[in-house]
Structure 1
Amino acid sequence: MDDNESGARATGARLAADGYAVETALGGIQALEVLQDWTPHIILLDINMPEFDGFDVAAMVRKIGAISHVGIIAMTGYDEYELRKRGSLAAFDGFFRRGECDDQLITLLEAMLDREGSCLQSSDQ
């Protein structure tokens, strides 16, 4: 979920090419609308979005019972220190700085999905 359409589409296309199911939203309100009908495993959430910023959307997602467990990755051009100055990262499960190698994003996604799978497997036993 990103307000930069070309960036959102490019990231979505890369993830889709790697076999991920992708939905794109271009702002905080549209992100929440998409989440009414679709429950992803992980949300990539831009910090700087119109209407509601990424901090706001992440906090709202954590309050919606059906999707409160979904992994959320903060995506931004800021480094993690700058982000922490702007707001709490408590609602986020991961952090990806734009401009880093796309392969690092894939590695982060795979690690989060592996953790999720481990949690699901252990709770089923």
Structure 2
Amino acid sequence: MLSVSFRRLALLWTVRRVPTNGERPRVLAVDGNPDGAFTIAAYLSLEDIDSRAAFGGRQATEAARVWTPHVILMDVSMPECDGIEAARVLRRDSRTAGNAIIAFTAFDEVEVRRQLRDSEFDGYLQKGVALTEMLKLVKAFIQ
């Protein structure tokens, strides 16, 4: 008997939706690799999304507090302050608690969920997924 399994690459984990109030959607792309963050931000800009790049968890928390993105694509594995800790910091801050945060990682979904304590992330996106799928997931969090 043939058994086939499929990896789930882009998922909504919560019902959180972030209102844009008629503004252009803002997305912060966070990655430990600057080229990766810049590439995602550039792609999103081509899709009429105001996007910026941050490199690492500390820079992500600082940028999010000042700029207030609607959605944050957060790499999980980064030096100094990883994405899970950065997401916890953002959830505790009233200025960023309502942001949609997507785990953007090479780790599979099971591994990411194993590391979570609460509702740090609203969605999951595996690195390497088609950019069109990433865009669909980002837009799913925006009202």
Shift in CA distance, 89/107, structure 1 to aligned 2, threshold 3 Å: farther
2:133 to 91, 96, 104: 104
CA positional deviation for 1:87: 3.2
What amino acid sits opposite 1:15 in the alignment? Answer: L
Note the alpha carbon deviations across 1:10-62, whole angstroms, 9 max, x for none.
11110011011111111111112212311010011000112111110000000
1:48 match: 77
Q: How many residues align?
A: 114
2:8 match: none
Task: Name the one with the larger strand percent.
Answer: 2
2:123 match: 94
Where 2:51 maps in the other structure, the secondary structure is: coil
Q: Does 1:70 align with 2:99?
A: yes
Q: Does 1:35 align with 2:64?
A: yes
Q: Distance in 2 between matches of 1:84 and 1:94?
A: 11
Shift in CA distance, 39/78, structure 1 to aligned 2, threshold 3 Å: same
CA positional deviation for 1:89: 6.4
* Larger RCO (CA within 8 A; separation ≥ 6): 2
Moved over 4 A (4+): none
Where 1:99 maps in the other structure, the secondary structure is: coil
What amino acid sits opposite 1:18 in the alignment? Answer: E
Contact 2:65 2:96 in 1 (8 A): no
Q: Does 1:85 align with 2:114?
A: yes
Q: Percent identity?
A: 35
Unaligned runs of 5+ in 2: 1-29
Q: Distance in 2 between matches of 1:40 and 1:88?
A: 23
TM-score under structure 1 length normalisation: 0.85
Unaligned runs of 5+ in 1: 118-125
TM-score under structure 2 length normalisation: 0.75
